[in-house]
Every structure is written in C-alpha cells, then in structure tokens.
C-alpha cells in the first residue's frame, strides 16, 4: 500500500445554489470527524467565494471545475488560474470527460490547462478515460495512455505534482461502474506510466471517477492502485459523501 493519504474529491458539476451549498457543506464539515483522507469539493465558479468561507478552518479543500489556458486578456467568460488562486483554490479539474465531449477539449488543451494550474501553484486533477465505443473496441489502455502522455509531455518536470483521475466515460452518471478489478487494471497501467515519467511517482495519487458511491466505495478504494475517488452525484448528498470519505483509509 502507498503511504500517501487518499483523496476524495466531490465534483458538483453544474449544480448548487447559495442555500443548498450552505446546508450541504455545513453537514459535511460537521460529519468529517477524524477523516483519514484528504477531501476537496469542485464547485461552479460563482460559488468559489461562498464555499471558501464555508469550509474555512475545516479539512476540506476548495477545487474549481475548469481553468483557462490563458493568463489574462480578451477571453470573455474565461477564468484564469491566478483568479482561482485568489479564492483559495487548491485543486482544479482539467479535461473532465464532459469538457472533452461538450467543449471539444483536446489532449493539448488539457495539457496547457494543467500547465497553467501548476504555474499558479494549484494541483490539477487530470481526468482521463475512454468512451463506451472505445471501451467496447478494447482501446481503453491506448486512450488513457495517449491522454496522459500529452500532459506528461508538456509538464514533464513537475508531473509529480499532479493528480490523475480515471473516469471511464461509459460509467459516468450512467449507474454502470467498472468492477474493482477493471478499475485496478487501468490504474496499474497509469501507475506504470507516471512512474516512468516522474522522479517522485509515490506522490502521485490516482483517483477512480466512474460512479463511485456509498455502496461500492470501500471495494474500489481497497484496490492497491486506487488512491481515492472523484465523486459526482453522491457528493451532493452529505450522508453519501461522508460515507465515501470514511471508507477511504
């Protein structure tokens, strides 16, 4: 087993409102007790300030869901890494399957976003994963290796500072989950790939992000190369999110 702490990161996606955020996070903070893992919540940009206040003094870190490839300038609607940094953001998701799918983010764009985050002292959670079509064609390994290779190529010297999240796209929000063995097999491939590129591979945490929930978290987190989870729907329910947090030891 790796000695590093596991990381449980909630991804709210485009959900939340001021009232609901407050009751959710108040309940999560109250229920953390002596959690054995690191915890983060990735929230929509307008709520970063509110969430930073709500989790202040707790063990919960603030994460953003996206970052611009640009530092500043005439990029209406974009949010830069330095702006995120001002709101206490510790992590940012880059290349989430929904960004790749709906916003056409290429491997190169994802790599540049990771680079911007790292330059600002924010840890990018680099998301990789295959679609149902790629999964059924047996291309899982090739796809995730290609996606991660692009990030390593551009950020080689600081690759030890990233987090990788494997999210089989066919298991995101579909209720289908990779079996613990399937998840472990892909995590082992990613572990080998980052180990070859990094001076401190033991620092890099690999999260599983395919419909992890209160019922299956313990089994998935018990796999040797699963260092945590990127949690979607279950992170919007305090009881479920806490159950996953307490399963991460």
Please report, in tens digits, the pLDDT of each residue of the chain (249 residues total): 445 899 999 999 999 999 999 999 999 999 999 899 999 999 999 999 999 999 999 999 999 999 999 999 999 999 999 999 999 999 999 999 999 999 999 999 999 999 999 999 999 999 999 999 999 999 999 999 999 999 999 998 899 999 999 999 998 777 777 899 999 999 999 999 999 998 888 899 999 998 899 999 999 999 999 999 999 999 999 999 999 999 998
Please list, in sequence order, all residues whose beta carbon lies within 8 angstroms of the beta carbon of residue 169, skipping any fewer than 6 positions away.
97, 101, 129, 130, 131, 132
Q: How many other CB atoms are found less than 10 A from the CB of residue 77?
A: 5
Cα–Cα–Cα angle for 176, 150, 91, rounded to 5 degrees: 65
Global pTM? 0.96
CB 118 within 8 A of CB 77: no
For residues 222 and 6, what is the distance between their CA atoms, to the nearest angstrom? 11
Structure tokens at 146: 């290609």
For residues 51 and 22, what is the distance between their CA atoms, to the nearest angstrom? 8
Crossing angle, helix 48-55 and helix 18-31, to 10 degrees? 30
pLDDT of residue 210: 85
Domain 7-247 in this protein, CATH class: alpha beta
CB 130 within 8 A of CB 140: yes
- Residues with a catalytic annotation lie at 96, 167
Please list, in sequence order, all residues whose beta carbon lies within 8 angstroms of the beta carbon of residue 136, skipping any fewer than 6 positions away.
none
- In terms of DSSP H, where are the helices of 87-226? 97-103, 107-119, 132-136, 140-155, 180-197, 217-221
């Amino acid at each position: 087993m790796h000695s590093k702490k596991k990381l449980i990161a909630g991804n709210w996606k485009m959900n939340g409102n001021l009232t609901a955020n407050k009751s959710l996070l108040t309940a999560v903070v109250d229920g953390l007790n002596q959690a054995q893992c690191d915890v983060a919540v990735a929230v929509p940009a307008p709520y970063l300030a509110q969430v930073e206040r709500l989790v202040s003094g707790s063990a919960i870190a603030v994460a953003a869901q996206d970052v611009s490839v640009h530092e500043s300038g005439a990029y209406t609607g974009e949010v830069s890494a330095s702006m995120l940094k001002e709101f206490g953001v510790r992590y940012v998701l880059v290349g989430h399957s929904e960004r790749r799918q709906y916003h056409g983010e290429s491997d190169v764009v994802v790599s540049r976003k990771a680079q911007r985050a790292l330059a600002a002292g924010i840890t990018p959670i680099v998301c990789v994963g295959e679609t149902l079509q790629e999964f059924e064609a047996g291309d899982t390994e090739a796809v995730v290796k290609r996606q991660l290779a692009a990030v390593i190529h551009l950020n080689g010297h600081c690759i030890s500072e990233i987090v990788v999240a494997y999210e089989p796209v066919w298991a995101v929000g579909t209720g289908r989950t990779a079996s613990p063995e399937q998840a472990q097999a892909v995590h082992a491939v990613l572990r080998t790939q980052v180990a070859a590129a990094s001076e401190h591979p033991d620092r890099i945490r690999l999260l599983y992000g395919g419909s992890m929930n209160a019922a299956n978290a313990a089994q998935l987190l018990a796999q040797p190369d699963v260092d945590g989870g990127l949690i979607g729907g279950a992170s919007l329910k305090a009881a479920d999110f806490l159950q996953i947090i307490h399963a991460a030891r």
